[in-house]
Structure 1
């Protein structure tokens, strides 16, 4: 199959010449490109799927700064070496921006089908199976543990411990997100009081000890691949790793709990996750806090870019999220 001589695959990547992709293939020794396509989802249009004479690969270009690639590479390596859940490895980076005007990376394409596509075509029983499989996949991801909560430092290309205690650090992160909301004029005085009330009520739950683990922070079907089994699905890969940090693994539960649609799906997700061990005491309180912090990120993005939430208050939008987080583990 011949490739178009030049094509705009996405607004972010711009027009790409076939000869440029041929140069990438030669640079990384991945054979001759025979087909190129864009994935069905993805928020920023940075990904191309490549089929070559040697196999299938993923090209990530025009990153949000070069650290975007180096951090994803470090996270992918941690998952590859210390988790049963596959991540694309090797994750190889070109530091030379001459070819496109930005740096880029090549990695093997993960097996299976994106969970977003499977979810869209699944019947209710299959969606419960996907939710349960996602829970098992998350437990596999959280096999990557560390002595302390930590963040990625590009200067050393690794995760470095946070010097403050976990509760203080979590409150600092929450305050940073609230500041972003205020800058977008997205929090009313009523919303501020509502947030303060949730924090005051649930904060003791953060003091329960935990083993720090790799937190994906955007864990949902759209960032997972699955392969079908005789009775259900098996998680076969995780991607979009840039938001990761090391903290309380229960932080990763909350996005999936509001992404899925029914109590049965939420219960299946929690059951899949806890097959490897129970949640800690006070989980319902912590999940309310983690759901609050997560929803503030979504709220700030939606309001700042005038995409969502124009006709609803923060309390109205977050109320169902809060209830789902507690009910899922009650």
Structure 2
């Protein structure tokens, strides 16, 4: 215990701690240096975020408030892209995002750059989802649909990816070609690890052939999160109602067709009632366009190819006798039905 000269009560010293495999051991003096750099006051507590695939987030409690620090990013562009996306959401959407998103260029403190942002209110949506009964999951699904519609208030005059060198999104002129190109890149990744059989290749070809014309249906580009699901939302529960308090994990985002953001949530829901609640809440604000069933089937396939390729490369998630056709078929069919409804 040490005595803070500005306070009469003793202050608990934060000792060294391994916050995650990726972040390693960090001590209290390093965290205080982060707070000093951005004028956040005195660090009172620090805890690893309970969710997150890569263990990059530490929640900081300081005398000035609650913050999140993202460390050891996937290259410095990881942080600059998230900052740009958070700014777009902050400026154009009624759904909150972590803002201001402050980046430190200093690599002396940890060996990598890092970012600090206000901690969003509420708790991680996956915690609510996993603890909910069937009725509550229907309500959460509806909340997610409304939240996605609010996120898609972030519109753009063009579609395209983020350019790391320019720290800006770049306009493209062939949307169907871009979608098919991204899907073919995922197919190539799967081929590299010998993860596709002849029947899998046939499935991919048929879904592309069926859906490519529907990709040409005109749309207003929006910010596509590309990993939209309860685990990347914060929620707050009031009585029997759930409210989305913010969205995060923004690194996969690009400007494109908002319908593409439906497919991961459609894979998350477990019942037709949950699926309808999600879609009804979303389409009340943003109706689906003609050809949605064919587009959603193609988007679902493209998204599953990412999961399939990663799982096959690292030998996780799937059994040895699983096939792309066998695992993707029900997902594609569910997306097709959702588009038809």
TM-score when normalising by structure 2: 0.94
TM-superposed deviation, 1:230: 4.1
TM-superposed deviation, 1:223: 0.1
1:230-260 CA-to-partner distances (Å, cap 9, x unmatched) read 4411111000000000011100000000011
Q: Secondary structure, in 3 states, of the residue corresponding to 1:284? A: helix
Matched, 1:10 2:20: yes
TM-superposed deviation, 1:15: 1.0
**Retained in 2: the 8 A contact 1:226–1:233?**
yes
Matched residues in 1 for 2:198 and 2:85: separation? 39
TM-superposed deviation, 1:320: 1.2
Alignment of 1:258-269 (within 5 A): 258-269=267-278
What is the aligned counterpart of 2:187 among 171, 175, 178? 178
After TM superposition, the structure 1 stretch with the greater mean CA deviation from structure 2, 58-67 or 148-157, is 148-157
**Retained in 2: the 8 A contact 1:62–1:102?**
yes
Matched residues in 1 for 2:184 and 2:338: separation? 26
Structure 1 residue aligned with 2:338: 328
Matched, 1:316 2:326: yes
Matched residues in 1 for 2:336 and 2:71: separation? 39
TM-score when normalising by structure 1: 0.97
Q: Which has the larger radius of gyration?
A: 2
Matched residues in 1 for 2:286 and 2:129: separation? 26
**Retained in 2: the 8 A contact 1:3–1:36?**
no
Matched, 1:125 2:135: yes
1:8-28 CA-to-partner distances (Å, cap 9, x unmatched) read 110100111211001001111
After TM superposition, the structure 1 stretch with the greater mean CA deviation from structure 2, 295-304 or 307-316, is 307-316
What is the aligned counterpart of 2:261 among 252, 257, 260? 252
Alignment of 1:84-233 (within 5 A): 84-162=94-172, 164-233=173-242
Structure 1 residue aligned with 2:310: 301
Q: 1:215 to 1:3 in 2, by over 3 A?
A: farther
Structure 1 residue aligned with 2:87: 77
Matched residues in 1 for 2:58 and 2:174: separation? 41
Structure 1 residue aligned with 2:46: 36
The number of equivalent residue pairs is 329
Q: CA RMSD in A?
A: 1.1
Q: 1:16 to 1:142 in 2, by over 3 A?
A: same
Matched residues in 2 for 1:25 and 1:309: separation? 43
Matched residues in 2 for 1:313 and 1:174: separation? 18
1:196-230 CA-to-partner distances (Å, cap 9, x unmatched) read 11111222211110001100000000000111234
Matched, 1:291 2:291: no
TM-superposed deviation, 1:56: 0.5
After TM superposition, the structure 1 stretch with the greater mean CA deviation from structure 2, 40-49 or 2-11, is 2-11
Q: Secondary structure, in 3 states, of the residue corresponding to 2:111? A: coil
1:265-304 CA-to-partner distances (Å, cap 9, x unmatched) read 1111101101113110111111000000000001111111
Matched residues in 1 for 2:198 and 2:158: separation? 35
